[in-house]
Each structure stands twice: as C-alpha cells, then as structure tokens.
Copies of this chain bind each other. A is one copy, B any other.
C-alpha cells in the first residue's frame, strides 16, 4: 500500500461518521470512544473542513447533537447530515403521506408532515418499536397500496451498543421488501445521493474529501463509489474480518479516530 502521504494528499474535507467513531451508543446515552473528543477538536482547529454524516435514525438531529455536546464534542446541528430531515424534505416534495415505523426520539423531525390516510411507509431504526405488531401494521399498509412505496432511513445491517450488537433498520427493511416483493428507497449511507448531499453541505468536491467510518460497506464502500477516499476505524462495529472484505478495501485502516486525525494533520495539510 502507498505511503500515507500519497494516500492523503489533496484532502480538504473530512466526513465523520458518528456512532462507532465518535461514541458507542447505549441506553444511558453511550460513551465517547477514547481520544475522539480531542480528535474532533483538533480537526476543527485545522484548515480541513469537517462535517458529520450519520445514519442515526433513532434520534432527532437536535437530540443527537445535545447528547454529543454533553459528552464534550464540539458539534452543532448545522454541521450534521442525518437521514430524518433529508426524508422529511423528500416527503414534502413528492406529496407523500407516510405511515411512520420510527423511534419516538425522531418523531419531531416529521412534525410538519401529514400522516393521514398513508400512501407510503417510512421505516427508521425504531429500536423496540420493531415489534411483531408494528411490523405487521407497516406490512398491511404497504399491501393495501396499489404501488407500495417503502422509504428506509439507511440500510445498516447492525450496530454496536454498549450492551452488544443490535439489528439495524436494514434487516427490517429486507423483511418488508421480501414480504411485499418490492425494493425500498434508501435515504442514508451508502446511497450516493446522500453522500452528495453531505459533500454539497460541506462545500468540498468528492475527490478532495475523505470519509471516516466504522462500517466497511456503508461508510467505506459507499464513499468510495462516490469518488471519495475512505478510512475504516477499528472501533464501533469494526470486525477484524473487515480488513479482508471480499469487495471493499479501505484507503487505510486506523485504530481509532485519534489515529486518523494524527495522520490527516500530518499528511493532508502540508
């Protein structure tokens, strides 16, 4: 593999995944990953542009940012690209009235949306909301539609909480896709439209940007397909087998965000 200097040359902007990179989520709000609070602060003091790009669909952007600020992170709502506000815009543009299978924590993002007489289903990481009853209800709404529309906030396979691995929205999306014989529209990583939205909001071209994430497929593979570079951190949902993934090879593997920032500050900015 080429030297770090070569691999990081010309990087002007950094997209940071949040869960598994900044902190590990959990029922108590989770805990920062050692070194990440300081790493974000150092990045923001540098000449690099920084934006946060999450698939978190359990919390409103406001709630997520508040939680991270209390853990000491230098982050504000305007710096975060997250799927719920992006979905809310899409629903308005297309005149869609969703049946919402979502976590209560994110419901406020849909306050302005008409949910009467639904003509689509929106599924997010509903956590305990993924009950047998709620899954059947969403399924029946879809089956009653002539052309079922299912919008999924991300399609993650799983994520790590302090209590262990948890199934993510992608698993439940697949269940509904299979049962209805349809394909969901994904708002979130690794959808190219979503990465392009984050890049546009950061004001950096894809070839000048690098993604840092813990998900080899959703973060690393998705960003690379958009023409960005991508590093995988060995925190969060990282598993050693990711470094031999059959389809995706990161531009580099680092122990954690702190190491990624060390390398960026050393090599990206000359």
A→B interface (CB under 8 Å): 127-133, 135-136, 139-140, 143, 157-158, 164-168, 170-172, 174-181
Q: Which residues of B contact A174 (CB under 8 A)?
A: 174-175, 177-178
Which one of B127, B135, B158, B168 lies within 8 Å of A130 (CB-CB)?
A: B135
Question: How many copies are assembled?
Answer: 2
A150 CB to nearest chain B CB (Å): 13
Instruction: List the 5 closest A-B pairs by CB distance, nearest first.
Output: A171-B175, A174-B178, A171-B179, A175-B175, A157-B179
Q: Identify whether the interface residues of A are mostly helix, strand, loop, or mixed.
A: helix
Q: Which residues of B contact A168 (CB under 8 A)?
A: 179
Listed by A's residue number, 9 A-B pairs whose Cβ atoms lie within 8 Å are A129-B132, A131-B131, A136-B165, A140-B164, A140-B165, A167-B179, A170-B178, A174-B175, A175-B175
Which one of B139, B171, B179 lies within 8 Å of A178 (CB-CB)?
A: B171
A196 CB to nearest chain B CB (Å): 25
Which one of B127, B128, B139 lies within 8 Å of A158 (CB-CB)?
A: B139
Cα A143 to Cα B171 with chains together (Å): 14
Q: Which residues of B contact A165 (CB under 8 A)?
A: 136, 139-140, 143
Q: Which residues of B contact A129 (CB under 8 A)?
A: 132
Determine whether the beta carbon of B166 is less than 8 Å from that of A136. Answer: yes
A174 CB to nearest chain B CB (Å): 4
Q: Which residues of B contact A170 (CB under 8 A)?
A: 178-179
